[in-house]
Structure 1
């Protein structure tokens, strides 16, 4: 065999060995990440373990374009958790790690979760009518129509009450449009579930929330009332803690905070009209969806660029908690509206996921 052939064979061997070795390393990294146990940050501590983009074999050169995009779109904070560990944590536009920002309607999912906890404790049943807990006359509808409305209808936005009358939830502003279960409409009447929980637990909603959820997972923050809206404010890591709890099927370390069975209901289609809505959670990957302030049905996925199994807490002006079970991801975005003021979903969701995919794929 001449020297040219020997040299060629040697190069081929070295290339094959190098390729296989890298493939084996990448495979080992993937296997390790898939089998790693979920990490939970300690309570009442700033300690939080991290994981590098390199360790996840993500595309590090695509991170800066993502961060530039976020800053341009009025973002205040952004986090990516993988299996509980922080991979990305960035603050923009003079916001800081200790500063609070509003969750807006992303905080609806806090109410849903606390409702599930109360049901787990046999304090209430979401299939009961709301008047069992609030008494009759909590709406201005007839007694017959009012008694059709269950707690589940509040959680799934199918109360049948008029959503065009503003956010006031006093009885005179809660008027009949359709029988419960027959119409999906994004309505602030969901907040009556906080009264249900308070009455069922014989304490205030805030006390119950703090004791059963906030304190148990180390969240900061507080509820405020703005123009008859109950709004939660916290730092970004507190929002991430809540997202982590949900992604871990309701467990925090070895403690079941809210039952997996309730969360399974909450993060799957809750009624027959808006396939992309659970119990105050938005769901991706469905064949159609409805949006606030319209009765129109839109065909296709809620966020086309996002994974099908994503579910999300979405708040006014682009407050986001994305949970992606298949990828072990929790992603947080807080800030001002990326473009135009919106109730929940916006074009920003799909554009953001295009940038996220460039990093994680």
Structure 2
């Protein structure tokens, strides 16, 4: 009995030590699970059971237990009964983690949307896509290529795939539980949407990307030389840790902060602008805060992305989620169905023109696809590039929106292609080069 008590005591001490050193991490874990569950249920209209079984089954996050309140439109999560976090749904703004200061029922503004149907075939409108055969396409090779993302899908974990060629729907496929209408979380693909808003403002002659960042706190130190261009290119020189495996700048921002525009703003400079390239979701949310400064009212800020981009090109399924302070989480929280993500890629393939209207200048595409110094040809301005040849069997003019867990919108101008792939696995588990290499071979 004495030995049993000693062993039990040692186990209790070990558990206490484990909890003590991981308590802060539990906050992140339950925060992630709560936020993710709420958004998948109330934004994407997915079943909670499917989310638990498929989406939340990865290290640490699988420790969380979630619960959904359908009447109150909220979700909560704990880890071993500890550190409960709650997420609520707000109409027009999506889901947001709340804190002790949040008062239920408090009023909030939401974006005004124009959801009228565009009487043109998809992707330029909401009519059914046209069936078109192209003599330059090897359809046998095409079928081999589009099958690749679903091969050994326990590893590749592809969920949706869509291919546009010359503005025509060439192929689309969805696994069980997903359809052409299912909104998909783009994660960092949202960064490219945010950058596009800057391209639109520049085209409207309301900003210039070479302007200094309008941050009052930076005016009297070395950060005063940081421009919008430096922020769009992730080369501000500011400190930032982008690590999703533990407690880092990005996980604290996404799962603890009420105002996500502040996290990067308060960081010190590690280098002068352009001296280093450092990928930072905090930078994107800082840019969302700067975007808010361009409008007289908060309502105008909320309306702008939908009025001048999203609803204008018919991306009616898209939702940009906001933080507790009403800032769009431009780093991570954009939702759209696969067809609408493809519309966004087609807009770039069209050099900013949509149904006879120029939303941003063709030169903006040149800007965002110009490689950023120190990125090894892999990054432009909130878009990823193949200029450095990371995908050796794919044309180097490819540029893309990339998101956590393998969300991609690939644009290949030389092949007139837009490809959307969503799932739960990134390269190399999802073989980007093998798939895209096989696909471009189908076009003679």
TM over 0.5: yes
Cα offsets for 1:58-79 (capped at 9, x unmatched): 1425514632542512111111
Which residue is equivalent to 2:55? none
Q: Does 1:330 align with 2:422?
A: no
> In structure 1, how many angstroms separate the alpha carbons of the residues matched to 2:268 and 2:315?
37
> Aligned partners of 1:355, 1:70: CA distance in 2, in Å?
14
The aligned residue for residue 196 of structure 1 is 290
Over 3 Å counting, the alpha-carbon distance change for 1:261 and 1:66 in structure 2 is closer
SS of residue in 2 equivalent to 1:77:
strand
Secondary structure at the aligned position of 1:332 is classed as strand
- Is the 8 Å Cα contact of residues 206 and 223 (structure 1) preserved in structure 2? no
Which of the residues 68, 75, 80 maps onto 2:163?
80
Q: What is the aligned-residue RMSD (CA, Å)? A: 2.6
In 2: Cα distance, 1:233 partner to 1:224 partner: 8
Residue number in structure 2 paired with 1:315: 403
Indicate yes or no: 2:143 matched with 1:143.
no
Question: Is the CA contact (8 Å cut-off) linking 1:284 and 1:308 kept in structure 2?
Answer: yes
Quick one: distance in 1 between partners of 2:353 and 2:368?
Answer: 15
Question: Where does the alignment leave 5 or more consecutive residues of structure 2 unmatched?
Answer: 1-119, 242-247, 254-260
Gaps of 5+ in 1: 1-38, 287-300, 341-345
SS at match of 2:418: strand
Please report the TM-score for the alignment, with normalisation by the length of structure 2.
0.61
Query: Any idea what SS the aligned residue of 2:321 has?
Result: strand
Q: Once the 2 structures are TM-superposed, how far is the Cα of residue 56 of structure 1 from its aligned partner?
A: 3.6
| The one of 376, 380, 388 aligned to 1:278 | 380
Alpha-carbon distance between aligned partners in 1 of 2:278 and 2:322, rounded to the nearest angstrom = 22
Query: What does 1:1-361 align with in structure 2 at a 5 Å threshold?
Result: 41=122, 45-52=126-133, 55-60=135-140, 63-64=143-144, 66-67=146-147, 69-70=149-150, 72=153, 73-131=156-214, 135-137=215-217, 143-164=220-241, 165-167=248-250, 168=253, 169-170=261-262, 173-188=266-281, 189-204=283-298, 205-220=301-316, 221-225=318-322, 230-271=332-373, 273-286=375-388, 301-338=389-426, 348-360=431-443
- 1:317, distance to aligned residue in structure 2 (A): 1.1
Structure 1 residues 203 and 267, CA, compared in 2 at 3 Å: closer, same or farther?
A: farther
Q: Which moved more, 1:302-311 or 1:263-272?
A: 263-272
* Deviates most, 270-279 or 314-323: 270-279
Which whole-Å CA distance do the structure 1 matches of 2:364 and 2:122 have between them? 24
